[in-house]
Chains A and B, each alone.
Chain A
Amino acid sequence: MTRTRATHDRPDARPDDRSAVRPDDRPDALPDGGGTPLDAGGPGDRPWGAPSTAVPPETDPSRCPYCDRPFPSDRRRTLHLGDAHAAALTDEEAEAVAAVRDGEADDLFVYHLKVVAAIVLLLMGLAYVYAFVLS
């Protein structure tokens, strides 16, 4: 279900990728493989807290340097940095977040065009069926 990523195949990795570094002062680190949903830290306005995770075996996920949460890609991890640890980011990380968010915004725009097209088609289709049935 999830692709195994070779450690060298990280197109989104920045030159100063911190995923290999484990700073000692991370009080809200998850144990390996994801702990219970309540062990991890995170912003106080998240009622459910950080979700527990389950990494498929023999996968090497990108991990968040602040809370050790695993992600299937560096891009996703960078988005998480912006979502959950915005206050604690270094300048390079903030730049990476901005860049990935920009790319996501473009993807989101294309997706929204498809959504609007689907809405139009669905409603027009229903209207035609009604017109046909009620005539």
Chain B
Amino acid sequence: MTRSRPARRWVVTAVVAAAVLALLTRPGAAHGGTLRLSGSSPQVPFWLVSLTGGGVIGVSFLFAALVTDHDLIRDVAATGRRLGAIPASLTGLARAAGVAGFVVVVAVGLVGPSTPTANLAVLAIWVGWWAGFTALTYLAGNAWPAINPWRTLAALLPAGDRRVSPRAATAISVGGLLALVYLEVLSPLSEDPVLLVAAVLAYSLATLVGAVVVGDGWFERVDPISRVFRLYGRIAPIQRTGDGLRLSLPGAELTRPPATDPRPGERAGSAVDPEPAGGSSRADGGTAAARSQDRGAWWARREGDATFVVALLWVTTFDGLVSTAAWETFARAAVGVGVPAHALYVAVLLVGFGVFLVGYRLACRLSRRTGNSYVSVPEIRVRFAPSLLPIAAGYHLAHYLDYLLSLLPSLAVVATDPLSPPASLPVLTLPGWFGGVGLLAIVAGHVLAVAVAHAVAFETFTGRLQPIRSQYPFILVMVLYTTVSLWLVSQPTVEPPFV
């Protein structure tokens, strides 16, 4: 084959792609206007929505496959600027606000009105914190280490320093996450203000005991809630590095190991802008054996992160799954046969997590095969796990955005007079086209995940064709998952039966 100039090839490819885009409207956006998440009859059938979503993910992979310049990919991932250090007064204010919020929630939950939609505790926890603050975390940045009231309270208590192995830490955080999501699904617990506050206090006791025993590492590595926010925060454009805040592209931090837990041997700066003076992270320089142990522990923490990311993805899916009519049919059939309802939920929660974990590990193993590479499978698992986070975030946004926006006025009104709120509370009614925003969020999350995985693949594998081929199993899984999750989100919402 004759040698063609690379520039001409790029121009031809770009022109063809642009022409295709110009000629055909993007079906994903065109139909979004006719769908509502609350289930009025749509013009576009559910199966076509799912198919479109899967198709958009496939197309985004194909477009990513056209970007093969190592330098361009690295430059895009490294783009950013320092924003300066966080003022200590702001941190102090955040800590005070967190503790004040906690105290108010507990107080109002115990003595406030018993109607869930009129109780500040219920609204603040589900609408303000779990929906709103989480969305802020992955859209803007992770402020949880400052706002976390338990961390502030734990600072007043004596701190232990019992070492928790990374495996134990992962087991506790994953178990804690599954337990918390199970409690969230149990509607009597999540809606009754007194029961909810009881759960909050039980969690507070557990986490404060953990913080006292383990020390500061508890919130950094073990506590499930802090871990969720830390991982979601890595999607955001504003990142906390060793020397202040840094603004970069959303998702760029997912292509690197976390800046707040640098590799041993690197300084605690951003992995992208390392400190000019090198040096060991151990105060005494460390022996070779100690350094090797540090690296082993760091690697085990990254593997724990990968497992936790898969768990987080599963629980967001589970949250949506149990609100669908299809689940209701299945649950009624199972309970009718004689399966205890709670056991059914717990079993599905655990089995689903297992399926997701096995599926992810299998995809990593296949990736090594389609890429025809000698890179080890654990390496692939650890490097590509962060790319799953935007999927979870997109799903979270789709699931909670209309809930958040419609109840935000109620939250504001109840906050002004928590103990005797007005009888009728304002609720924002969203326009019919708003369901499309949720669908777009899911698709956007997947597209970002494809881009991040593409960048990581070019980092990990050699050449320019092999990284693309290594992505086939992940793309297949993502297309299937998008199809299923769009179907889930476009279903009318139903209360989970029996709980």
Interface set of A (CB-CB < 8 Å, partner B): 1-2, 34, 36-38, 44-49, 51-55, 61, 70-72, 76, 79-80, 83, 102, 104-109, 111-112, 115-116, 118-120, 122-127, 129-130, 133-134
Contact = CB atoms under 8 A, between A and B. Distances in A.
A116 B374 CA distance: 29
B375 A52 contact: yes
Interface of B: 1, 3-4, 6, 9, 13, 16-17, 20-21, 24-25, 27, 30-31, 43-45, 48, 51-52, 55, 58-59, 62-63, 65-66, 68, 70, 74, 78, 255-257, 263-265, 271-272, 274, 292, 295-296, 298-299, 368-369, 372-379, 383, 456, 459-460, 462-466, 468
Given A71-B374, A119-B59, A130-B31, A38 B295 contact: yes
A76 B463 contact: yes
B465 A107 contact: yes
Contact of A129 (B16, B24, B48, B295): B48
Nearest to B458: A83
Contacts of A1: 368-369
A37 B52 contact: no
Contacts of A71: 374, 462
Contact of A46 (B9, B51, B459): B459
Contacts of A122: 55, 58-59, 62
A105 B11 CA distance: 15
Contacts of A70: 374
B379 A130 contact: no
Contacts, number: 138
Nearest to B262: A47
Most A CB within 10 A of own CB, among B1, B373, B459, B462: B462
B378 A115 contact: no
Nearest to B74: A45
Tell me what chain B mostly uses at the interface: helix, strand, loop, or mixed.
helix
Contacts of B295: 36, 38
B471 to A, nearest CB: 12
A44 B376 contact: no
Contacts of A107: 465
A117 B6 CA distance: 19
Nearest to B28: A126
B206 to A, nearest CB: 34
A50 B265 CA distance: 14
Contacts of B20: 116, 119-120, 123
A61 B374 contact: yes
B62 A119 contact: yes
Given A47-B255, A72-B372, A119-B59, A133 B48 contact: yes
A93 to B, nearest CB: 15
A38 B466 contact: no
Most A CB within 10 A of own CB, among B292, B296, B379: B379
A59 B45 CA distance: 53
Contacts of B68: 108
A52 B25 CA distance: 44
Given A2-B374, A34-B374, A104-B463, 6 more contacts: A46-B459, A47-B257, A53-B376, A105-B6, A120-B20, A127-B24
Contact of B51 (A80, A105, A129): A129
B4 A109 contact: yes
B369 to A, nearest CB: 5
Contact of A119 (B45, B63, B263): B63
Given A47-B459, A83-B70, A116-B17, A108 B464 contact: yes
10 contacts: A1-B369, A38-B264, A38-B295, A46-B459, A76-B462, A112-B9, A116-B66, A119-B17, A119-B20, A123-B24
The 6 closest A-B pairs by CB, nearest first: A47-B256, A54-B376, A79-B463, A47-B271, A53-B374, A51-B379
Contacts of B383: 48, 51
